[in-house]
Structure 1
Amino acid sequence: MGMTLTPIGPVTNPLPSRMPRREPYLRIEWIDEITAAKGYLVVDKLVRGMATGGTRMRAGCTASEVADLARGMTNKTVAFDLPVGGAKGGIDFDPKDPRAKGVLTRFCDAMRPYLDNHWVTAEDLGVSQQSIDEVFAGLGMRQSFHAAIERSATPAATAERVAAGLNASAPGGLLGDVIGGYGVAQAALAAARVRDWTLGETEIAVQGVGTMGGAAAYYLHEAGAKVVALADATGTLYDPSGLEVPALLESRNRFGEIDRGIVGPGVQVLEREAVLGLSCDVLIPAAVSYALTLDNCEDVRASIVVEAANAATTPDAELSLAARGVAVLPDFIANAGAVAWAWWLLLGDVGEDYRDSFGRLAAVMRSKVTSLLTEWNPAEGPVRWAAEVDTRVDAGESLVIP
């Protein structure tokens, strides 16, 4: 396998920002000797010797994309007062390819010095938590939170506590799988309250029904909102009277695709990208980065966009939407529930009772979104600018895990 520490070039699609730009702490490019797949690790910032961020796999994943995502992770950790910096892993490979697990295993093996000591990773687009945990176990590491767990005075006990939390039952699935989507749902619900919308009449469209988008749609439906559209890789399902979300999600295959055989006669089956332009109050892009671009953002008819996917909106699209008065809740707020919860779990602030985790995350998300949207002035730029945090200050002492 090959690995270089040479620069991988400037970020070509930086998120709009008014903060001073800075270079990431570390950028690595890796090439798989067997498949020629390329992988990237970007550590945007180390805080107390640690950085956190998932590992994604998709055909076409780029170095600049991973750098954008790593910077977003730093924003999340600061916005949610987590004692770590931000990082991200990415592999340019089709996750449906039967060789994908081998590629992921070799990538993680190559990144072992960072996974042992500095980088806590987890699931992301194209990589499930179960699959990455299996890879870690096969490499002799306890779990994908390995670097943090090994800092504990009692690693075995900490690993057991983390596993109990990740695998705890919650409405809608395992707590570790659904907590991120629950946070997105809470962000959307908070936005609806700020706008004083009647919940049962609030129409929501969700692009992507994987771990994040599926859970967000489930909890919004359970809260009483009207989920009018769900889009997966094969198309968009649309019903202005509201979809039967739980049944549709239950029919998904292992690639997150809904079984069209159970779709009712009143549901319209549209093109995949149609979800972005449907009439609704809230649009939740939860599939891929850069889903909303300058070329398609004029199609958006929602008044609020909640970024469940990382970097779901390109900078020029975000500026264009703000000029139209469309609020884009940025990813480092809206979808930060998963990373915030993971570190609450690692630090012992929450455990395996989902009610504690849901209660804490709902309260934090409600407070942040309400404050942002109440004070936001579209004439001053995107919501992202109002939400930005200063990521330049490091905490010096080493992180201690109880």
Structure 2
Amino acid sequence: MTTIPHSSRQDASQLTPGMRHPDTPAMIDGPPVHEQPWVDPVTGTRGFLVIHSLVGGLATGGTRMRPGCTLAEVTDLARRMTLKTAAFGLPVGGAKAGLDLDPHHPQALQILQRFYIAMLPWLDQHWVTAEDMGISQSDLDDVLQPLGLSTSYHAAIQRSPNPDQTLQRVLDGMATQAPGGLPLRDVIGGYGVAQACIGTARALDWNLSDTTVAIQGIGTMGGGAGWFLHDAGAEVVAIADAAGTLYDPHGLDVPALLALRDSYGEIDRAGVPDHVQRLPREAVLSLPTDILIPAALSYAVMADAVPQVQARAVVEAANSATTPEAEELLAVRGVPVIPDFVANAGAAAWTWWLLRGLVGTDPEDSFQMLSDQMQAKVAFMLAEWSESAVLPRRSALSFADTNHRALANTHMLVP
């Protein structure tokens, strides 16, 4: 067992491999430390801020905007941010905010700004937010700057010994382009999901070039994962968007298909080769593949769908992609599920590494760090799965809780 003295300032991510804790109630399962409902005085729009946990006085989590957003949804997502930050040993707690609002509303940005004015004490001192469903990072920063906040990372930046230097490092990192010309910040999350899949194949002794993958959803996570898996040599045989599933048992040309996406994120079927099969959208869940990546919707894999699932492993790219009942039924069949709060945490981990100065403007450094950490965590989970039939989620909750306890009284490590 690895131990770290209380006085050590070693990278907390090193706590993860091999560490366990007694089977006691987890701090990460406690109630939120703060919930703040809000009603827009002009339009009546409802909004919510939930701070699930604070580490060193800080919490991180994006702001989403969608019709039907609820306090229960935001609370669940805030807890998942605690799990993500704890799983990767990041010295920050978890939070989330949401607005019950169509992002196409003509006053959407004005409403968002009034929400942030109400939450300004948290944004100034404790809460680091970022883009999420319905809100881009550029819009978010445009809304915050008139409030005196340089970026949505203000609360973390202002705690560093040299805020100007930290701000410049963050701006430079966010402007970094990955190979292919896309911003690194837009692809690092999908890269992390791909590394979780590659780690799964390696841990289960599969040859990556013979490993087949089906992906439900081709947005930031699903599309990015598909691109990086194709680049690594895996066979992506199925991709599903809102219009249906595209399937080729011999492998799809993922970059070509992604290039056909329209403004709604759907692949223009007019450009799809004739030999590619067009199947119903839900067919992606039941195709004979090695890895299934649900990357579009929460609760995409439900208990009644389990008998049709033929994949040998599931890697969750969407939040809560598999219901607890479905996960248990899959386990009975010998199908492990790599949980969302590990597999899709790459963007959150990378942002905090950038804030702390652990990565900079060289994308290869970021890719290597995320690859090393993601694959180590997947290997640990699947070793316990293979040796002791421990669910990967249980293993991940164990090391996340261990990290969370160890970090509870630390301060953000920013040079």
Q: Is the 8 A contact 2:91 2:407 kept in 1?
A: no
Q: Percent identity?
A: 55
Instruction: Give me the whole-angstrom Cα distance separating, in 2, the residues matched to 1:395 and 1:100.
Output: 36
Q: What is the 5 A alignment of 1:26-41? A: 26-41=34-49
State the partner residue of 1:185: 194
Instruction: Give me the whole-angstrom Cα distance separating, in 2, the residues matched to 1:322 and 1:96.
Output: 41
Instruction: Give me the whole-angstrom Cα distance separating, in 2, the residues matched to 1:192 and 1:214.
Output: 19
AA paired with 1:55? T
2:232 counterpart of 1:219: no
- Report deviation, 1:198: 2.1
AA paired with 1:59? P
State the partner residue of 1:149: 157
2:83 counterpart of 1:70: no
Instruction: Give me the whole-angstrom Cα distance separating, in 1, the residues matched to 2:395 and 2:249.
Output: 33
Unaligned runs of 5+ in 2: 1-22
Alignment deviations for residues 103-151 of structure 1 (CA, whole Å, 9 cap, x no partner): 4333333322211111111122333333323333354422221211122
Q: Is the 8 A contact 2:91 2:413 kept in 1?
A: no
User: Aligned to 1:116, what secondary structure does the other structure show?
Assistant: helix
**Aligned partner (choices 266, 270, 274) of residue 283 of structure 2:** 274
Instruction: Give me the whole-angstrom Cα distance separating, in 2, the residues matched to 1:25 and 1:249.
Output: 41
Q: Is the 8 A contact 1:323 1:379 kept in 2?
A: no
AA paired with 1:312? A
Residues 109 and 214 of structure 1: is their aligned pair in 2 closer, same or farther, counting only changes over 3 Å? farther
- Report deviation, 1:377: 4.9
Residues 364 and 195 of structure 1: is their aligned pair in 2 closer, same or farther, counting only changes over 3 Å? same
Unaligned runs of 5+ in 1: 1-16
Q: Is the 8 A contact 2:190 2:224 kept in 1?
A: yes
AA paired with 2:412? L
Instruction: Give me the whole-angstrom Cα distance separating, in 2, the residues matched to 1:105 and 1:80.
Output: 31
Residues 297 and 40 of structure 1: is their aligned pair in 2 closer, same or farther, counting only changes over 3 Å? farther
Residues 323 and 401 of structure 1: is their aligned pair in 2 closer, same or farther, counting only changes over 3 Å? same
Q: Is the 8 A contact 1:51 1:87 kept in 2?
A: yes
State the partner residue of 1:249: 258
State the partner residue of 2:142: 134
Instruction: Give me the whole-angstrom Cα distance separating, in 2, the residues matched to 1:93 and 1:279.
Output: 39
2:217 counterpart of 1:208: yes
State the partner residue of 1:288: 297
Instruction: Give me the whole-angstrom Cα distance separating, in 2, the residues matched to 1:178 and 1:309.
Output: 15
**Aligned partner (choices 341, 346, 361) of residue 350 of structure 2:** 341
Instruction: Give me the whole-angstrom Cα distance separating, in 2, the residues matched to 1:122 and 1:174.
Output: 15
Residues 213 and 83 of structure 1: is their aligned pair in 2 closer, same or farther, counting only changes over 3 Å? same
Instruction: Give me the whole-angstrom Cα distance separating, in 2, the residues matched to 1:196 and 1:135.
Output: 49
Q: Using CA pairs under 8 Å that are at least 6 residues apart, name the structure with larger relative contact order, 1 or 2.
A: 2
Q: Which aligned segments of 4 or more residues in structure 1 are displaced greater than 6 angstroms?
A: none
State the partner residue of 2:306: 297
State the partner residue of 2:409: 396
AA paired with 1:227? V
User: Aligned to 1:295, what secondary structure does the other structure show?
Assistant: helix
- Report deviation, 1:378: 9.4
2:50 counterpart of 1:42: yes
Residues 322 and 59 of structure 1: is their aligned pair in 2 closer, same or farther, counting only changes over 3 Å? farther
2:121 counterpart of 1:94: no
Residues 69 and 122 of structure 1: is their aligned pair in 2 closer, same or farther, counting only changes over 3 Å? same
AA paired with 2:297? V
Alignment deviations for residues 317-347 of structure 1 (CA, whole Å, 9 cap, x no partner): 2222222211110112111111111111000
Q: Is the 8 A contact 1:190 1:369 kept in 2?
A: yes
- Report deviation, 1:308: 1.1
AA paired with 1:118? H
AA paired with 2:414? I
User: Aligned to 1:367, what secondary structure does the other structure show?
Assistant: helix
Residues 81 and 269 of structure 1: is their aligned pair in 2 closer, same or farther, counting only changes over 3 Å? same
Instruction: Give me the whole-angstrom Cα distance separating, in 2, the residues matched to 1:24 and 1:44.
Output: 4
Residues 244 and 95 of structure 1: is their aligned pair in 2 closer, same or farther, counting only changes over 3 Å? farther
State the partner residue of 1:121: 129
State the partner residue of 2:12: none
Residues 279 and 35 of structure 1: is their aligned pair in 2 closer, same or farther, counting only changes over 3 Å? farther
TM-score norm. by structure 2 comes to 0.86
Over the aligned positions, Cα root-mean-square deviation in angstroms equals: 2.3
Residues 365 and 393 of structure 1: is their aligned pair in 2 closer, same or farther, counting only changes over 3 Å? closer
AA paired with 2:228? Y
**Aligned partner (choices 159, 163, 168) of residue 160 of structure 1:** 168
**Aligned partner (choices 61, 65, 70) of residue 57 of structure 1:** 65
Instruction: Give me the whole-angstrom Cα distance separating, in 2, the residues matched to 1:97 and 1:84.
Output: 33
User: Aligned to 2:274, what secondary structure does the other structure show?
Assistant: coil
Greater percentage in helix: 2
Q: Is the 8 A contact 2:91 2:410 kept in 1?
A: no
Alignment deviations for residues 269-303 of structure 1 (CA, whole Å, 9 cap, x no partner): 33333222222111111122222222333332211
Q: Is the 8 A contact 1:79 1:333 kept in 2?
A: yes
Alignment deviations for residues 160-212 of structure 1 (CA, whole Å, 9 cap, x no partner): 21111112111242111111111110010010112222222211111121112
Instruction: Give me the whole-angstrom Cα distance separating, in 2, the residues matched to 1:117 and 1:56.
Output: 20
State the partner residue of 2:3: none
- Report deviation, 1:384: 0.4
